[in-house]
Amino acid sequence: MNLDFSAEDIAFRDEVRRFIEDNYPAEVRAKQERGEPLGREDYQSWYRILGRRGWSAPAWPKEHGGPGWTAAQRFIFAEELGRAGTVRILPFGVNMVGPVIQAFGTPAQQARFLPPILAGDAWWCQGYSEPGAGSDLAGLSTRAVRDGDHYIVNGQKTWTTLAQFADWGFFLVRTDPAAKKQEGISFLLIDMKSPGVTVRPIITLDGAHEVNEVWLDDVRVPVENRVHEENKGWTCAKFLLSHERTGIAQVASSKRGLKKLHAAAAAELEDGLPLAQDPILARRLAELEIELMALEYTEFRMLAGEGAGKSPGPESSLLKIKGSEIQQRVTELTLEVAGRYGAPHLADLKPGDNALPVGPQHALHAADIYFNTRKTSIYGGSNEIQRNIIAKAVLGL
């Protein structure tokens, strides 16, 4: 595997960098810098800009409206988005249901659902986890009963990210309760405005409304909205999860977070030397940087495999484990460097609210981000489950 970028790749990198600098919405950047929560339009405004440029679905092939980029170009694009700190391209449409529809959907489904994803006009959410089926996803109990040309769906989903903004959701439902767990599941596309769909917020430890519970009460879903065969939805689910776990690695974002962490540690303290001169912290930063470099090379290997026509395999579990753990360690160290200014209640203060300064910029919402990042080792299949996958698929245990 050649790890050197070609002259064409470097020119592409410069093109992407200039495009971001010239087109990223100033109002979104300002909200990010102020630490304000982002709404649907904040995400979609940038996504639509990318869509008009033809860059909204980096991994899609040309026949489905994507740019048809090489593995190196996709890596460079993700790297530049992370470097610039743009809002994330939400994965639910582009990286999850879109590839499933391309691989298993009918031509009519592809014509109906793929163009709105590319344009940024359709917001998707994922209906997988249930109160009794998280890591053991095949234990789900949401039921879909055939009624002529429709399914009648009843059940509950939980931890449904940003469902409050969603137009559509892709749901795993049980269509044959008598079959083995993985063999009685179907993959349905459900209009979130359908009668009987109720979205209720779950407020997380950082005080944010990011996830939800979704109730489905006698929701009528056309059979034409089923992707792949009835009772074969587990095939779609496994295909989707391999792509989700790859995206969870977030190497570029971790590199940006580590760069900011180095800058924060190097800042001179009001009552002493910069923390970067502490040998214990310096060692921990160096160890974290080495692990992130190793993770990046693992991503290179997987991208090289994709370039050779291979689908994501157990390597996606490796990326998910190390990527999520590194994200958590970056936020842990950021909170430690913030010190007393990282106290959660200080995030809501403004200069002049009390006699004490609020603190340096790197401490803003450090506690909130730390709390929120605890979930990365759980969603997409917990890291314990990923280790089981590696043990079986790689080690043969």
Q: Could you tell me if 386 and 317 are in contact, meaning their C-beta atoms sit under 8 angstroms apart? A: yes
What DSSP line would sit under 245-257, residue for residue?
Answer: HHHHT-HHHHHHH
Q: Residue 249: which of 330, 333, 304 has the closest Cα?
A: 330
**Which residues are CB-neighbours of 45 under 8 A, at least 6 positions away?**
25, 28
DSSP 230: T
Longest dimension (CA), the chain: 74
Active-site residue, selected from the candidate residues 244, 268, 296, 332: 244
Strand-pair category, 168-174 with 124-127 = parallel
**Is 244 one of the catalytic residues?**
yes
d(CA 370, CA 12): 34
Residue of 325, 354, 328 lying closest to 341 (CA atoms): 354
Rounded CA separation 360/327 (Å): 21
Name the burial class of residue 7, with classes exposed (0-12), middle (13-18) and buried (19+) by CB atoms within 10 angstroms of its CB: exposed
Please name which of 172, 194, 193 lies closest in space to residue 184, comparing C-alpha atoms: 172
CB of 238 within 8 A of CB of 220?
A: no
| Paired tokens of 213 | 């519970």
**Which residues are catalytically annotated?**
244
